[in-house]
Structure 1
Amino acid sequence: MNLRRIGAAFASVVLLMSPLGGCADGDDGVTDTRADKGLPVIGDAVRYDPNHLANGGRPITLQYWSWHGADEDPVIAMIDDYRRIHPNVTIEPVTVGWYDYWTKLPIALRGGSGPALFAIQNAYDASIRPNAADYAIDVRDLERDYTTADVHVQDGAVKYIDSVIDTGNIYYNKRIWREAGLTETDIPKTWDEFRRVAQRLTVYEDGSSGEDGARMAQAGFVINAISYALFYGALNYQQGELLFKDDGVTPNYDNPVTAGNMRFVKDLYDRYHVGSLALSENCVRTFGLGKAAMTYGWGWYEDSFTRYYPDLDYGIFPTPVPSADETPFAYDRYNGQATPGINTHASTEQQAVAQDFVRYLLADDDYIRKCVDANNAFPAKRSLADDPQILAKPVMKAIAPRVERLIWPGPMPDAMDSDARKAFENVFYNDMPIAQALERTQRTMVSDLRSSGFRSAESRYRFYAERREHQQ
């Protein structure tokens, strides 16, 4: 789930509707007669040779729909570069607000009036897949270049892959850390160490331990329903517990591992007094204001801190694990930022140009670099995994050693995360017993996913066979 999209819900809607979203093939415009551009072929396994005429050099206009504007969408940022190579091709970006996007796009695609190119969020895979064309790129080349391409292969083809991948980390306030007498050598590697550090970083108004009901002035760690929906997956995966049962269809929420991990999180608040509900409503804000020493978050947190709390002095460290002496089944789940989709209902000419543009993107490292910057997420492209400029970013440095041990559950419908949030709220706010909350949430998840057509990708994980070894 890419939570940065929430901000896009408030973006202005710039919907340039026309009878054909892809526009007519015979648009007036520049005719390109120079096939040999004198430019080098780019790419490794996926290669792009710019020395050809797109659409035979004839003018053509396509639309690209996205819920982001030009300053946030790397695809839009690459359009001008592509047009400098192929001046006869016009790609018009169209911004549609997030909540309208997933209503209007499927209707437009099915009705034949949709854009030739469109942004994808993989939680909506089921609604776009029937209307998306297969990439005209050999999947073996994609797999050679992109570490996670294989999980997107269906029937020998892909409709999109990941440009970058995001996962969870622990953010910590460096000022609070120093004031508590801690150094980088105190960064916790296990959850037991994490709990002890969180206790040390917690401050109450009267200097007490909090057991007397004193008001918490500074939390050692904060978590809320939104972050829990991601956090519990990390805790479960570390112990070899999948989010879905062996059939790949049935949610696997109500189990002893989820219960134990919910108890662990609840104990942080109720037994060890490192957080309070009053400080947990908005974890980004609480952490940004210096009212919390640590919080769990994905890469998009850093975008919020940079934008709204530019003076915040913070660091990032990898999510702890149960044991420092044992490599976990997986450190956490990840999710990818999808590459553009191609409208299978667009004209033959439009699809050909769209395929050419997508190949250009996937061959060009600059596109992936822009995706890294825009999403604060790790490059899925192998050639950039060890790039010094990228690894200089704190989030990338934290993710790099763990990247092979991150697991993708598949394009999960948003209902899964929403249901997990409700479980957290029931336990933390409604004092519902953990067993009851998990049983209720399990039933809801099963009901919500029954007609979704979703099938887990967990069995494609490289270390899938190890899961039984890690189960306690």
Structure 2
Amino acid sequence: IPKRCDTKQRRLTMKVKKALVMTFLLTFMLSFTICNNTLAQEMPSDLIGNIIQYDPSVPLNNGEDITVELWYWTGAANLFESLATKYMAIHPNVTIRLVENPWDDYWTKLPLALQGSDGPAIFNIHNSHHENLIGYLAPYDIPVGDLEAEFTGVSGHLIDGKIYYTDYGLMTGTVYYNTDMWAAAGLTKADIPTTWDEFREVAKRLTIRKDGKLIQAGYSYNGGIQGDVLGMNYQYGQNLFTWDNKISLNNDAMNMVIQRLKDMYEKDGVCDYNFGNNAGDNFGQGLVAMYLGWGFMTNVFGQNFPNTPFECFEIPTPTNDIPYAFHRYNGESTFGVNKNAPADQQSIAQDIILFFLANDAIQKEFCLVNAVFPMKVTLQDDDELLSIPSVAILKDHIDRYIWPGPMPSTVEDNIKIALENIFYNNEDITKALTMAEKAINEDLEYSDFTSQEPMYKYASEAKK
């Protein structure tokens, strides 16, 4: 081959090689770009939340696999499954193992499990068990100021400037009324009572007797009203606890509350003590026209008595003036972090809580299922939540409900005994309240309970 032709051939070969290399590089770069774009689409990168923010793009545990247990009690498994599924979709290296226990077993097993390092890293809390759990809790990593800006009622959970759990939802005493019975009595929305005197008159109109026999109670509290009585005192500016964390029951406010309840039965005749033994069930069965119950009863009626038509109105007050507080509330608590869990598991638990609190959709899901008023400010005007009757009626006065703190069980146990003696044994109100007060305060001497009433927004208005 002539030298000139050989040179041309080599040049042609080099050009082909360069073209092939360029084609390969372009193909590789295009593939890499497509791959990266696909990963970016699969991996959410937008921040979740407003003040409390969650960044789903931050890798956890250096990308290494990790498993944490989340314990909860029986009743709403779908909520916890939903939370775990959403979280693990963002962080595939994290496995959340859900552990369900019946209510009674939960409170036996959980404190024992938290004593060692192999207990659950994250777990459901009910504030009635505050004293049994607080010693095992790690404080939240989220700044307190951020929590206070986004959630109502955070200040009531401060312990030495730290938050170990707070509330995502609120429930309180609400009056349920049967809309068919209401209409049959010639009542309209305009007749919804706002004072106790008006309530008594409406209850009389809703009461039906046939041949002297009660067949429809206008209002019933049979089966126990202790949880409601422990809250009506606030309408008179009377706190439940003194400055040194002792109970105050034998006072004018509580005497008036209980005397009014007696008079509704014994003077007004809207019910009697032998007309059913569970006012909530009797309402669902169509025997009672009005019932004072807490927000969780909304779902109880929907599930157990789906054919009973009802609406709600806010608990009446002594006058039409805004009271010191309409009633007390209790919260549905956020999760706890086990301070004895391994550090890497605690880190994941803190991250799950951040995800839970930042995410409005998850907050809304939990509030809807539990029929509670949302403590997250951004959800307090949500139309779907406000379509729940027991939630909607709280909106206008939400800051006028007080949380006394995680009340020890001795309080409700002893007021229940006192009320049974007053209503069924005709015991003197003052005597019964004095005995209950004494028994409770003896128990409180061995308790770490601290009233949160001083943290209430309008605490300065209370009777001194």
TM-score, normalization by structure 1 = 0.88
What's 1:80 paired with? 85
Offset from partner CA, 1:158-179 (integer Å, 9 cap, x none) = 1111010111110001111111
What's 2:5 paired with? none
Letter of the 2:221 partner, please give it.
I
What's 1:221 paired with? 219
Offset from partner CA, 1:25-59 (integer Å, 9 cap, x none) = xxxxxxxx999934200111111001111111111
SS of residue paired to 2:247: coil
CA distance in 1, matches of 2:253, 2:271: 22
1:120 aligns with 2:94: no
What's 1:16 paired with? none
Aligned Cα root-mean-square deviation (Å): 1.7
What's 2:236 paired with? 239
Listed as ranges, the matches of 1:339-350 within 5 Å are 339-350=334-345
2:52/2:150 contact within 8 Å kept: yes
CA distance in 2, matches of 1:36, 1:153: 39
What's 2:53 paired with? 47
Shift in Å, 1:400: 0.6
Letter of the 1:304 partner, please give it.
V
What's 1:296 paired with? 292
Letter of the 2:402 partner, please give it.
I
1:36/1:51 contact within 8 Å kept: no
What's 2:187 paired with? 182
Shift in Å, 1:440: 1.1
SS of residue paired to 1:411: coil
Shift in Å, 1:367: 1.8
Offset from partner CA, 1:203-240 (integer Å, 9 cap, x none) = 1122xxxxxxx3211101001353x2222233200100
1:244/1:250 contact within 8 Å kept: yes
What's 1:61 paired with? 67
Letter of the 1:270 partner, please give it.
E
What's 1:423 paired with? 418
What's 2:353 paired with? 358
What's 1:378 paired with? 373
Offset from partner CA, 1:408-441 (integer Å, 9 cap, x none) = 0001112211211111111111221111111111
Structure 2 unmatched runs, 5+? 1-38
Runs of 4+ in structure 1 off by over 6 angstroms are 33-36
1:284/1:304 contact within 8 Å kept: no
Listed as ranges, the matches of 1:15-34 within 5 Å are none
Structure 1 unmatched runs, 5+? 1-32, 207-213
Listed as ranges, the matches of 1:49-448 within 5 Å are 49-71=55-77, 74-206=79-211, 214-224=212-222, 226=224, 228-247=225-244, 249-324=245-320, 326-448=321-443
Shift in Å, 1:370: 1.5
Identity %: 37
CA distance in 1, matches of 2:228, 2:277: 16
2:167/2:375 contact within 8 Å kept: yes
SS of residue paired to 2:390: helix
Kindly tell me the number of residue pairs found equivalent between the two proteins. Answer: 426
Letter of the 1:234 partner, please give it.
G
Offset from partner CA, 1:375-429 (integer Å, 9 cap, x none) = 1110000001111221122112111112010000001112211211111111111
Letter of the 1:220 partner, please give it.
G
Q: Does 385-394 or 135-144 show the bigger shift?
A: 385-394
SS of residue paired to 1:216: strand
SS of residue paired to 1:165: strand
2:117/2:342 contact within 8 Å kept: no
CA distance in 2, matches of 1:115, 1:458: 32
Larger Rg: 1 or 2? Answer: 2
